[in-house]
Structure 1
Amino acid sequence: MIEKLKHIHHMFYVGLIFMAFPFASIFLGQIPWWHFFLAIFFMISYLGILITENKKLTWLFWIYLLLYIAGNTFFVGTSFCWFYYYVSNILIYRFGIRDFRSPFLWTAVGSLLILFGALLFNREMRENDWLFVLIVSLFIAVMTFSMVRMEMMEELKVDHAKQNAQINLLLAENERHRIGRDLHDSLGHTFAMLSVKADLADQFLALGQVEKAQEQVQEIQAISQESMHQVREIVENLKQRTLARELETVQQMLEVAQVKVEIQNELDTASISPILESALAMVSLELATNMIKHAKATQALLFYRSTETGVEMVAEDNGIGFATVSDKDLHSIRERIALLGGELEISHQHKPTRIEIRIPYQERK
C-alpha cells in the first residue's frame, strides 16, 4: 500500500492542504470533536480511491466523500461546498470522465441536487448562503468541464503524435524497401554474373587458354561499367520521386490515420518531365500530411489529370478547412510549384476543402 501511495501524483497530496480548515475548526471548538474522525476517514477515502482497484471499495469511498461534503455543507457550514474540488479532481484524473455517461459523475450531480433541495426547504438557511453554494457549485462545474476539455486536447495531441510516428516509420520503411528492391533488381544479378565470369577466367588461365580468359576479363570490365551506370540511375531515381510510388505511400499513410481516401490518377507520367513528376509526388505527400495533422479529415480525394495547357491536381477532404484564405496558406507547396511556373488555388474553404494545383505541361526529354 505504501508503494502505491508513493506513486500518487504529488498534486493530489497538495490538494489535501484544504483539510487544514476542518481540523482548525475542530481544535478551536467551533465544531464537535468527533468530526476529527470523519475528516480522517475523508482523507482515507480520498487516497483510497486513488490506489484501490476494487470496485466495491471505490464506490464505498466515493459515496462517503459525497456524504461528507454534502452533510457538512448542510449541517456545519456552506464553506464545505468548496470540497467538491476533491470530487472534480477524482472525476477528471482518476475516473477519466470524458462524457456524461459516467455513473460517478451522475452520483456527484445527484448529491448536489439533493443538497440544493435540502437547502431550499431549510428555513434556517439564509438566502445568501444558498446563493453562495450555487455560485461555488457552478464555478467548480465550469472548472471541471474546462479541465476535461484540456485533458481531451492533450490526449488528441498524444494520438496525433503516435499517428505521426507511425507515418514517419511507414515512410522510412517504404524508402528502405524501395532502395533494397532497386539494388536487388539491378545489381543482384550483375554480381552473380561477375562471379561466374571470374570463375571462367580463372579456369581458362589454369588450362592455358589465355585468349579466352582475356575475353572473360573484357566481359567483366563491360559488366562493371554497366553496373556503374545502373548505380548512377539508382541514385538519380532516389533523388527523383515517382508519382506512382509516392501515391502508394500516401494511401498507406491515410489508411493508417483512418482516413478513407480515393485516388484517381489519369496522368501519363511517361510524357512528363522527372522534375514535374517529383514535384507532384512531394506535393501529394505534403497535402496528405496536412490532411492528417491539421485538417483532421476522415475522407479524402486526390485527382490528377492532363489538360491542354498543363497538369492539374485536385485535393479534397472533409476536414476543418480554412477560416480565411490567404497567400500564406500552404506556403511551402506554393513555393515548390512556383519554381515550375505553377499556381495553387483554395477553391472551397471547408465541407469540403478543395485545393486545385495547376503546373504548366512539359514534355519529358
Structure 2
Amino acid sequence: MSFADRISFGAADETPSAGRRLLGISVGLVYLVFPAGEIVTGAVTGVRAVWAGTLLVVYIGFFLGTTLSARSFVERGRWTYPLLAVTTVLGVAGAVVFGGSWLSLPVYTVVLYGFVLPAVRAIWAVAASVAVVIGAGLLHHDEPGLLIMLALQVVTLGVLFISVRNTRVLTRELGLARDEVARLAATEERLRIARDLHDLLGHSLSLIALKSELAGRLAEESPRARKEIEDIEAVARKALGEVREAVTGWRRRSLPEELDAARAVLRAAGVREQVRVSGTPLPGPLDGLLGWAVREGTTNVVRHARATSCRIEVTYDGRRATLDVVDDGKGGGGPYTQGSGLRGLGERVAQAGGTVTAGQEPGGHRLTVRVPAEADA
C-alpha cells in the first residue's frame, strides 16, 4: 500500500471507518427534526403525510448512501456523484412541494456539498441552495425572517464544511510532501554512504590487487608463495567487484521505483498524474537510464511547467524503449530553454545511441526519450 493510500482524512496515519465518516458528516441531521415534526404532530395529514414521510425516508437513505459510497472525504467512489444528484433532487422536491420546515432539506444537503465537491463546485452548489430556499419560501409565502435565517444557515454550513474538506486535502498533501522529503533524505544518505564506501574501500582494494600482482611477479621462483599471492589478488579483485556492484545498486533506483516517486511528487504538487507502462521490464541499462529520465522530467514539470496534469508513458517493443512525459503547463510564458539537467540527460542518452527531444507543443510541453534496446547505458 502506497503512502497516499495510507493518508487519513481525520488523522495523518489511519483510514477513517465508515462509521466515523457518518458521524462527522451527519451533523446536519438536526434539521430533519422540523419536517419530521410536521408528520408526527399532524400538521401534514392524509396522502400528503404518506408522501412526505416516504420522501423523508428515501432522502435519508440516499444521503447515507452518498456518504458511504466515498472512500474518504477526498476520494470519490463510483456512485458518489449519482447518489448526490438524487439526494439533491429529493431535497429540492421537498422544499418546493411542502415549503415551511421542509426548506431545511437543502440546508442539510449543503453538508454533503462541502464534503463531496471540490471547493469551486461546492460554492456554486451553496449559491444554488440559497436560491432554492428563497424561491420555495416565496412560493409558499413563508415568513421573510425564516427565509433569511435558512439562507444564512446554508451559507454558514457551506463555508464551514468546505473549509473542513480543504483542511483535510491540505493534510493529505502535507503528508505526501513529508514522505517525499523523507525519501529524498534517505536517497541522499545512501549516496553519501556509497561515495564514502567507494572512496575508502575501492582505493584500498585496488591497491591490494595491484600489490599482489606485483608480488606475484617477484615471487615466481617460489610456487607456494606465488599461489598464496594469487589467492590474495583474487580475493581482493572479487571484493572490489562486490563493492562496485553495491555502490551501483545504491546510486541507481529502478524505473518502477522512479515511477512511484514521480506519482508521489506530482500528487504533492497538485498535478493530476497518469502513468502508463507497456512491454516492461526493461533490460538493466535501459531501466536505469529511463529511471533517470523520469526523475528529470518530473522535476521539470513540478518546478517550471505550472501544469495541472501530467502523463508519463513508457513503452518497450524489444527493439527500442520510449519515454514520453507530457504536461499541460505554460511555464514562464517565454521560449522553451533546456537547463543543465536536460542537457546532461541528452548527453547520456546520446552516449547510449538514443535521442532526447523536449519543447513546447500545443497545450503544454513534451519530453521524449528514445533509446535502442542494445544500448550500453
Tell me the TM-score normalized by structure 2: 0.44
Greater relative contact order (Cα < 8 A, sep 6+): 2
> Considering only CA atoms, is the larger Rg found in Structure 1 or Structure 2?
1
Provide TM-score, normalisation by structure 1: 0.45
